[in-house]
Amino acid sequence: MSINIITVIGFIGLLLFIIYDLFRKKLKNLLKRTILFSFIFYFIVVATVTTGYIHIPPLERGVVNIQLFPFYFIWDLSGYGPNSWFFWNAVKLSFFNLIMLFPLGVYLPFIFNIQSIKKATLIVFFTSLLIETCQLVLVYFGFLSGRTFNVDDLLLNTLGGTLGFICFKKIAELILGKKSKTKHISSFPQ
């Protein structure tokens, strides 16, 4: 069984940060800090899921696969029958790409006080672009294998993150009972 080095380093770092933070601030602003810890945990999980197993030492330079045709996943879905493994694999991968950055869309107004859907969409898009570019570079230098730069991932990740932002804003409106700015994490009671 192999363990992703990003996961190990990330969780050890998060655990040390939480211990240090608890000793320093005790229970002061615990809700705010717990939300921040959950965001860091989410970030580590996304890094783990998008990199898979990192090869140390690196393999020989990998084969770089780049898929630049938008909505290619629809062709994948239509090219096979619903009883095919390829069909359900395409459904699974499309769904996972859709939900992967959904939580980021929720965190943006809450932690980073992003109120504009345009800004949120751009942040989610550039986050997805960063992930795809890191995969491309790490495959090229042999640290990853089996990953591709895929424009469909960009589209589905961006759609998912934007839906997360919209859902959070709508739920916040229902809870607050009016259309107002979502409370930023720094406005919670001390």
Q: For the chain of 190 residues, list the mean pLDDT of each consecutive stretch of 10.
A: 76 95 88 92 93 80 83 80 84 94 96 95 98 92 87 96 96 78 55
Give the pLDDT score at 65.
85
- Give this prediction's pTM: 0.85
- pLDDT, residue 144, reads 85
Q: What was the pLDDT predicted at 90?
A: 85
- In the chain, the amino acid numbered 97 is N
Domain boundaries, the chain: 1-54, 61-187
Q: What is the pLDDT, as a whole number, of residue 183?
A: 61
